[in-house]
Amino acid sequence: MTIQLQNVTKKYGKDFALRNVNLNFEKGKIYGLVGPNGSGKSTTLKLISGLVFPNSGVVSLNDEAISRKSSEKVAYLTELDMFYDAFKVKDVVDFYNSQFQDFNYEKAQILLKEMKLDPNKKVKFLSKGNRGRLKLVTTLSREAEVILLDEPFSGLDPMVRDAIVQSLLQYIDFDNQILLIATHEIAEIEPLLDEAIAIYYGDVIGQEKVEVMREELGLSVLQWFKQIVAKNEEE
């Protein structure tokens, strides 16, 4: 199973969100899309989940062009607050359960318990941290081929982050899933990653295995990222 972006360009008017991007993602790996805010990370994830369409180039999952229907196989966690206020926590879970065939209801119940979310509480009254947790429950409960997380840690305190990292590790199916995490908080996710992809204002400026960075270059992901940004700006 693979995700491919071939010569993908996405423009918003004259502004390039992505410029002629080529990327490959394989199953069994955790990828980190790193870069500052507004650099094209979210756009990349939205292209893979079929929420936006490229101006040119092809985005494909298992050699099939991505469409709205691809959301069947792609679990996407948005950076936005995506809930209906009238919903209770359990309504959200029920809704996802009805919409996505790969949704594992039992897993969702376990996750709710682990994340200490009260099923009867209205989403409207959840704290920001708990809304973040609920988003994660809906995403991780799916046994989808692809899991996309857009800024899963933003606005969450370190305790919540640790809890999220742990449930991530506990509940993803490593042999069969592709996990893509987009974040500007590079240091936080470094131990999770197999590979890092640096996106800088619409361009992919680097892609490297994390262990190679450390072993051969003696750099952490953050150091590596800073170095290639500097190199990029010199050119």
Partner 1 sequence: MPTEFESSKPIYMQIVDRINFNIVQGKQPLGEKLPSVREMAVQMGVNPNTIQRAYSELERMNIVETRRGQGTFVLDDTKLLIELRRSYQTEIINTFVESMLEIGVSKEDMVKILSQHLKGEKQ
Partner 2 sequence: MSPFTGLLMRDYRITRNSFLSNTIVMVLFFIFGISISSYFGEPAGTLPIIIISGIMIAAFHPISMFLLLKTEGKNQLWLYSPRPSYMLVLSKFVVLWIYQLILQLLFTTYTIFCLYWYGKGVYPAVPVGTFTEIMMFINVALLLVGASFSCWVTLCWTVFHSLNRYPKLKPFRALIVILIIVIYNTFETLMARLDVVKDIITEYSIQFVSTPSLNYDGGGWEVMLEFAEVPVIPIIYYGFMSFLLFYISTKLLERKVEV
Residues that bind partner 2 (CB under 8 A): 12-14, 46, 49-53, 67-72, 76, 78, 80-82, 84, 86-87, 91, 94-95, 97-100
User: Is 202 in contact with 39 (CB distance < 8 Å)?
Assistant: yes
* Candidate residues 29, 136, 156, 157; the one interacting with partner 1 per rule CB under 8 A: 29
End-to-end CA, the chain: 36
CA separation, residue 235 to residues 229, 231, 232 (Å): 10, 7, 5
> Counting beta carbons within 10 angstroms of the beta carbon of residue 174, is it exposed (0 to 12), middle (13 to 18) or buried (19 or more)?
exposed
CA separation, residue 192 to residues 18, 50, 83, 88, 124 (Å): 25, 26, 28, 32, 32
Length of the chain: 235
* Complex with partner 1: residue 64 or 162, whichever CB lies closer: 162
x/- mask, partner 1, residues 159-178, rule CB under 8 A, reads ---x--xx--xx---x----
| C-alpha span between 34 and 223 (Å, rounded) | 12
* Complex with partner 2: residue 14 or 116, whichever CB lies closer: 14
Under rule CB under 8 A, residue 26 binds partner 1: no
How many separate helices (H) and strands (E) can be counted in the chain?
8, 10
Provide the minimum distance between the beta carbon of 85 and partner 1 in the complex, in angstroms, as a whole number: 33
162-166's contacts with Cβ under 8 Å and 24+ in sequence apart are: 163/114, 163/115, 163/133, 164/132, 164/133, 164/136, 165/189, 165/192
x/- mask, partner 1, residues 188-217, rule CB under 8 A, reads --xxxxx---------------xx--xx--
Judged by beta carbon distances under 5 to 8 A according to partner kind, the member of partner 2, partner 1, none in contact with residue 49 is: partner 2
Provide the minimum distance between the beta carbon of 158 and partner 1 in the complex, in angstroms, as a whole number: 10
Provide the minimum distance between the beta carbon of 167 and partner 1 in the complex, in angstroms, as a whole number: 8
Judged by beta carbon distances under 5 to 8 A according to partner kind, the member of partner 2, partner 1, none in contact with residue 51 is: partner 2
Half-sphere CA count of 224, side-chain side, radius 13 A: 26
Judged by beta carbon distances under 5 to 8 A according to partner kind, the member of partner 1, partner 2, none in contact with residue 215 is: partner 1
Instruction: Provide the binding-site residues for partner 1, judged by CB under 8 A.
Output: 28-30, 162, 165-166, 169-170, 174, 190-194, 210-211, 214-215, 218-220, 222-223
